[in-house]
Structure 1
Amino acid sequence: MDLGGHLLQTVSPADPLGADRWDFHADPCATLVEQPAVDPALFESREADDDEADDLWEAALAPSGIVARAHAQRADELVAELTTIDALQARLEARKAMVLAALTAAVGGSSENPAHRLDAPNVAASELAAALRISQRTASAAVAEALIVTDKAWKPVLEAMAAGDLPRRRANVILDAAAPVPPERLEAFAAEAIGIANPPDPDQTLSQGALKRHLRRLGEKYAREPLSVRKERVSAHRRVDLEPAQDGMCWLSAYLPLEVGAAIDTRLEAIARSLQSPEEHRTINQLRADVLADLLGSDASATAGIGSIEAVATGDAPPSPGPTGGVRTELIVTVPARTLSGDSDSPGEIVGYGAIDASAARILASEAATWTRLFVDPEDGAPLALGRRRYTPTLAMRRFLGARDRTCRFPGCDKPAAAAEADHTREWAEGGTTEADNLALLCPQHHRLKTVGHWDVRHVRSSAPPGSPMPPGRPVPPGTLEWKAPSGRRYLTYPEGDPAPPF
């Protein structure tokens, strides 16, 4: 029936709340064209732990619940469209790469004249720059990338892009991770890398940061030279750069060994958090910037009006002179026992940051104030559980969470464990316990989104329940989280799927 351009449909038995009586076409905010009917069966019985039943129960009690559901359905459609657009962009990027490779061949890349072949990429880039009105440098980078991804060795990557399964951003991670891999091993590397970047089960898809770490480890497997040799060579290029920005600001960046950069980052975070208080109005990012300015340029920071940073001392030791006295920092470094003994040069890893060479791992181990060897329960991976006896996790549990989660556990977030907070998945005030299978690391931003109620999260205990985005009954590793978005979509996040870290 047509009512003034609004479509009125009958109630579907599969939709007892009458959401199909809403018009999603005339107005992005659903327009109610007839009072929705409520199925009396909703009031008969419900499972106490069934999230879906809880949602239906609340929706049946008030019209506002029905409105929220209608908006969520609209949001779900928009999110689905975004995923479609992402796949389409991947196909277009694959097509663009093939066209640029063909253009390079057409302007001399397939010539028998060596000089013409050498000039062909520059000629193709000049054509691209003129046609799109972009710089020669940008065009040259696009041509170089296209010639790499269309090479025979990278066939699996190009095919995945052409199928819409591998966005360009993830393809570039594969290409970057291949830097230490010699040409004769590229095909084998690409075949294994595409399985990690584009797994058969979409729920196993890694975040961008986790993908980088996994593929760098894979690159070490296929590398001709060990990490220590390459690091010694490239460390000669260490530097600090300053790039002026708008409004009298600038960007300061440094190219340093990973263990040095990770220590700096962790120390900045620790000092900044020690300064937080109810009276402190600065954000954590502002505090980190001010701490850096105070440590390295006190005169300049005073001129800029930043003021002196005075960290709060923690622990039993008296604070040492200077603004950072008494602040404790902690890096979680996993090192194979054979590497520590000198019997192997296998890399170690700074959890949440990446691999370090064996020499750096031994140095960090020799300088460690404390050593922790984690023995975990083979059933659930938890080192211990405190139940309701204590709200705050012990230091051992916090270390375990850092080793298990490595980063914030929100889908796609890659904030390192050192900058995340241990959150009770089921809130303590609601009866949640302090144990590994009710704790997860969340960065402050996603911790807030979860606490406020925009996103719901729960631990998946043993196998996927009905309604999850994975087949029911499939076993899941300890620490698996199921997130429910405001749109109603569900996402699973897993602990990083590497073998257990070497302790």
Structure 2
Amino acid sequence: MIPVAPGRRGDRLAGMVDTIVAQQGRIARAQAKMTGQLVNVLELALSSPEVFTGAVEGRTGEQVRRSLTSELALALHLSDQKVRSLLSTAEVLVAELPDTLRSLKAGRITMQHAECLVRESVGLDREDVKEFERAALEFAETSTPPQLQTKAIRIREGLNPDTITERHTSAVEERRVELWKGHDGMGWVACYGPIDVVQSLHNACHTTAKSLRAAGDERTIAQLMADVFSDATMAGLTREAASEDGDSSRAIRPSVHVTVPVMTLIGLSNEPADLEGYGPIDPDTARRLAAQAPSFTRLLTHPETGAVLSVGRDRYAVPADLRKAIEIRDVTCCFPGCNRPARQCDIDHRVDWQYGGETNIDNCQSMCRSHHTLKHATTWAVERDDSGAVIWTSPLGRSYRIRPESNVGFEPTDTLNGSAPCVEPTVDEEPLGIETVTPSPDDEKWADHYPDEPQF
């Protein structure tokens, strides 16, 4: 759809949005100020242990910290765990990431961005922390927190003194299953394990759910995924799928995109591979996945830019090889800020077929079901400029340009009056064959109830 002039009501709405954006900036500045105050109160407490521990001999800084944590938690009506996190984050921001704190104070990032940088900087050498902050902060100021998380993992990987194989081997020892209670007689179970295993389990549930839905099952995709997972687990999936030596991972047939450097694949290099939707994985896991893969797709890329040039035959309709080319090019949903993997998205005609749009790689894009619906049901508009970049224009006239190298970031255009909004990824449905979409709201409402702080 072509955007129209907002008019008086549109101007009023645009002004209200500007006010909200300004409020967000004030919140960020207040959080930056509170960060400094948290460090100040902690330092004063640690220098005055008698205030918290009296004259008891053998008092320690940890005891003072715990006492202060409880004091703040009660005063702020927060949990101890949350206050411990606030104090730890504040210490790192003040001591190790001063530029991040300044960016937060200026309102260029949110506290979620800052917390992400703190998490990913832990364990790096002091000099590496400076390099990490420089690279990640530049990206943070034009990205949503989920997008920053993906980028930060990649930056960290290039700086970490330990090899990814060493860290993965150590992390595997921490694998576990966690359970916690929900509302209305419900609960959550989470499996912490190697990413290729847990992501393959998720993809298997999703694929099976889509097949059942296509066969006429009236349950939503979210409900089917939960039921498929429960049924398979209760039926003894791990026991039946396990090999003779008890390694159930060997039964997994990967259904994800894994990019493996050829020298790594043949054992002459330990350069990390790249798992779709996650980032770098250790070479041993990559080789095992490659050995189990039922087929390979050869990617022809530009020798300097790395841009995908071809993945197979060109066809007029949207065949499987063209869809795969679009998925690999787009990485994620093409709506600004959405992190839904392209392989789980619909294929949308940027210029509608009914208005003369062609079915080719230039006019087709990956879009999750929610944003596909948004595009066709509202006055959000999308176009490509001469450089090939995708530009979205909102009903209120705000424009956002998706960075051309991939769809994992975006930035406001020069005409934008305010900051780009953060748009969280949403649950998708089956791929579309037509442009009109009527999704069920029940398929997405589960995401509203996911715990903010899962216990793992």
1:147 aligns with 2:72: no
- Distance verdict in 2 for CA 1:345–1:172, change over 3 Å: same
Q: Structure 1 residues 170 and 71 mapped into 2: Cα distance closer, same or farther (>3 Å)?
A: same
Question: Does the alignment pair 1:426 with 2:369?
Answer: no
Whether the aligned pair in 2 keeps the contact of 1:401 and 1:440 (CA below 8 Å) is: yes
Q: 2:26 corresponds to which residue?
A: 88
Pick the aligned partner of 1:294 from 231, 234, 237: 231
Q: Output the amino acid matched with 1:407.
A: T
Counting matched residue pairs gives: 385
State the alpha-carbon separation in 1 of the partners of residues 308 and 264 from structure 2: 24
Q: How does 1:166-177 map to 2 (within 5 A)?
A: 166-177=109-120
Where 2:382 maps in the other structure, the secondary structure is strand
RMSD across aligned positions (CA)? 3.1
Q: Which of residues 335, 343, 350 is equivalent to 1:410?
A: 335
Point out the more displaced range, 69-78 or 87-96. 69-78
* Corresponding residue to 2:390 among 472, 481, 493: 481
Q: Which residue of 2 aligns with 1:441?
A: 366
Please, which of 361, 368, 378 is the counterpart of residue 453 of structure 1?
Answer: 378
Instruction: Specify which of 1, 4, 17 is matched with residue 79 of structure 1.
Output: 17
Which of 143, 155, 165 is the matching residue for 1:218? 155
TM-score with structure 2 setting the length: 0.76
- CA deviations on 1:43-100 (whole Å, 9 max, x unpaired) are xxxxxxx956xx36xxxxxxxxxxx633322222222222212221111111111001
Instruction: Determine which of 174, 185, 194 is the counterpart of 1:257.
Output: 194
Q: Residues of 1 paired with 2:352 and 2:184: CA distance?
A: 43
1:197 partner amino acid: A
How high is the sequence identity, in percent, across the aligned residues?
A: 29
C-alpha distance in 2 between matches for 1:141 and 1:384: 46
Unmatched runs of 5 consecutive residues or more in structure 1: 1-49, 57-67, 199-204, 300-327, 463-477
The whole-number CA distance in structure 1 between the counterparts of 2:386 and 2:165 is 41
The higher relative CO (CA closer than 8 Å, separation ≥ 6) is in 2
Contact 2:46 2:61 (C-alpha < 8 Å) held by counterparts: yes
Alpha-carbon distance between aligned partners in 1 of 2:376 and 2:309, rounded to the nearest angstrom: 24
Decide whether aligned partners of structure 1 residues 330 and 118 sit closer, same or farther in structure 2, where only a CA change above 3 A counts: closer
The answer for the alignment partner of 2:45 in structure 1 is 107
SS of aligned partner of 2:143:
coil
The 1:381–1:355 alpha-carbon spacing in structure 2 relative to 1, beyond 3 Å, is closer
Separation in structure 2 between the aligned mates of residue 114 and residue 91 of structure 1, nearest angstrom: 39
Match of 2:296 in 1: 371
Q: Could you give the per-residue CA deviations for residues 412-458 of structure 1, whole angstroms, max 9, x where no partner exists?
A: 11112221111111112221112222111111111111122342222
Residue from 207, 229, 249 that aligns with 2:144:
207
Tell me which of 312, 317, 324 is aligned to 1:391: 317
Q: CA deviation at 1:219?
A: 0.6
Q: Secondary structure at the match of 1:237?
A: coil
Q: Secondary structure at the match of 1:349?
A: strand
**Separation in 2, partners of 1:281, 1:453:** 28
Structure 2 runs not aligned, ≥5 long? 51-56, 237-252, 409-456
Do residues 185 (structure 1) and 128 (structure 2) align? yes
In structure 2, how many angstroms separate the alpha carbons of the residues matched to 1:245 and 1:498? 34
- When Rg is computed on C-alpha atoms for both structures, the one with the higher figure is 1
Taking structure 1 as the reference length, the TM-score comes to 0.70
Contact 1:382 1:436 in 2 (8 A): no
**In 2, distance between residues paired with 1:291 and 1:423?**
29
CA contact 1:227–1:347 (8 Å) conserved in 2: yes
Which amino acid counterpart does residue 133 of structure 1 have in structure 2?
A: H
Name the residue aligned to 1:330: 255
Counterpart amino acid of residue 220 in structure 1: E
**Other-structure match for 1:162:** 105
Question: Is 1:382–1:435's contact at 8 Å kept on the other side of the alignment?
Answer: no
Over 3 Å counting, the alpha-carbon distance change for 1:391 and 1:453 in structure 2 is farther
Contact 2:26/2:107 (CA < 8 Å) preserved in 1?
A: yes
